[in-house]
Amino acid sequence: MSDLDLTTLRLFIGVCDSRSITRTAEKERIDASAITRRIHKLEIEAGKSLIKRIRNGVEPTAEGLQLCELSRELLRDAARLSETMALFKDSGSGRLSIATTSHAVAGLLPQDLGQFMQLPDAQGLTLAVQELTSSEVVQAVRDGRCAMGIYWDNVETSGLQTLPYYVDQFCCVVCADHPLAQKASVSYAEVTEFRIIGMRTTRQAEAYVSRTGVINGPLARFIAEMPTHEAAIRLSAANLGVFITSMEVAKSYLDCWKVVAIPLTGLFPLHFRMVFADMAALPLSAQRLIKHLSASHPSLRSSMERAPAMAVNGAD
């Protein structure tokens, strides 16, 4: 097969979606016969009919549908390649993909990214942030799908480079009139006496600390599993249960609803780190962002003694 023409594939997708060569031609501002010739060439290459005429236009054959979906994937890959190449420019413009955990993206990362994007060095840069678990973050960087990531340092990162970002701590969020609300701190065992509001990552984190032996006692009784930190904290405000999260996440919502955040004792600090393949080989924009994040929270990095990292996959 000869080299594939991305323009031809894009037009073919348009025909499959609109079920009309004429409408696709009008949208793309080209002659309909030019699209017909391109599709005919595709059919010769494939050795199969890819579209068939119907009363009100055309529709893809079974082979045409398959080619259409594969073409979508190819065009998405081509777009990502183009974006990555744009990042190689010395200007630092282009698109930067970042993988991060839910705690970081609901905590300090948005304000840090906002400050960075206002700097002259970030002019022309766009960010694509993906929310993943820590193990998924590291794998996305390892696979080259993201230039850098933010993860909780409970996963193995051999072959990659890492730098500290900030240190957080576990806390529980309860409504203002909850029995725990007046306490200065609570243990995990005290929290498990009440109903727990969770997230997918909350369950993974509990399983992780349980395996390390930090939790001694009954596991949590989950009453609800919510998709976001905000939704979980809103349920806590309604006195449905206790939500365990990180302190920096909780602080963002204390003024919004009548809730309090109580530090959890006996658990290790949450050390968030940046991970990347090779600083010297990173796009200029990524290097600048890493330096910015490294200098953002020195007090949060020095406020707690560093706990040893433990390599267990699947936690956030």
The model's pLDDT over 162-219, given as tens digits with 9 standing for 90+, comes to 999 999 999 999 999 999 999 999 998 898 899 999 886 655 555 555 555 555 555 6
Domains of the chain: 6-81 (1.10.10.10), 94-165+272-302 (3.40.190.10), 170-265 (3.40.190.10)
pLDDT in tens, 113-167: 999 999 988 887 889 999 998 989 999 999 888 999 999 888 889 989 999 999 9
pLDDT in tens, 67-100: 999 998 888 888 777 766 665 554 556 788 999 9
Q: Indicate the pTM of the whole model.
A: 0.64
Q: How far apart are CA 135 and CA 150, in angstroms?
A: 11
Question: In this prediction, what percent of the chain has a pLDDT beyond 70?
Answer: 84
Integer CA distances (angstroms), 66 to 20, 69, 70, 72, in order: 18, 5, 6, 10
CB-based contacts of 292, cutoff 8 Å, min separation 6: 112, 115, 116, 119
Looking at residue 204, what is its pLDDT?
A: 54
Looking at residue 263, what is its pLDDT?
A: 94
Looking at residue 63, what is its pLDDT?
A: 94
Looking at residue 86, what is its pLDDT?
A: 61
